[in-house]
Amino acid sequence: MQRWFAVLLLAIPALASGAELKPWSGGPTPALELEDMTGQVHRLADYRGKVVLVNFWATWCEPCRAEMPSIDGLRNALDGKPFQVLAVNLAEPLSRIEKFAGMMPLHFPLLRDRDGAVAKAWRARLLPASFLIGRDGRIRYVAYGELDWTSEPVRTVVDELLSEEAPGQRRAAPAVPRPGQRASAWRAAHPSAADRTRRRA
């Protein structure tokens, strides 16, 4: 684990700019079950049917801090829609996370990956690492580095994911007219000679 953290720290400076959302090709979505700062447990599976942004971050990561306001802006812009942010802090003490949250109020849960095991399972070797989860529960896009989450390209991707059907959701089938209704509709479209005569009269 210490070696993994060392690699992570060395990689941080290279990620200050140039990040972009890229389609995910890394396989199945790992499990995620973590507590927030109040001890409430959040499970990714519980958010199935929503688009979820899973963001791995740390207070000592400057690009992580820099993009937090835009993440909060995206979340606020999508208030009332099936969208959720889960910000996973990488192995920092609760007191440090609370201090950060006090200086930068955010409207989404800050989860605690106390030993870095979840970040490792998600291959979040670089920070910030962000994963967009579709409504079907699969990772669809990934970004390593700072992003403006309120930018038009990002919003386009998120809106596309929001427009997809949630699992188990079906589009309403067109109403099928009853036999009597079908007959009436056919007569209206194909009036007989007697009907035409009555209408002229």
Q: Which pLDDT score, from 0 to 100, does residue 14 have?
A: 41
Q: In degrees to the nearest 10, what's the CA dihedral of 47, 66, 34, 2?
A: 140
- CB contact at 8 A, 36 and 68: no
* 61 token code pair: 């990561």
Residue linked to tokens 């998600």: 122
How far is Cα 86 from Cα 164, in angstroms, rounded to an integer? 20
Q: Which pLDDT score, from 0 to 100, does residue 63 have?
A: 96
**Residue scoring higher pLDDT (46 or 7):** 46
Phi, psi angles (nearest 5°) of residue 109: -70, 140
**pTM of the complete model beyond 0.85:** no
- CB contact at 8 A, 79 and 143: no
How far is Cα 41 from Cα 124, in angstroms, rounded to an integer? 21
The maximal CA–CA distance of the chain, rounded, in angstroms, is: 95
Q: What count of Cα atoms within 13 Å lies in the side-chain half-sphere of residue 156?
A: 5
What are the tens digits of pLDDT across the range 84-108?
A: 999 999 999 999 999 999 999 999 9
Q: Which pLDDT score, from 0 to 100, does residue 6 have?
A: 43
Determine the 3-state secondary structure of 130 from DSSP. Answer: strand
23's enclosing H/E stretch is: strand 22-23
What are the tens digits of pLDDT across the range 151-183?
A: 999 999 999 999 998 887 655 555 555 555 555
200's enclosing H/E stretch is: helix 193-200
How far is Cα 122 from Cα 142, in angstroms, rounded to an integer? 11
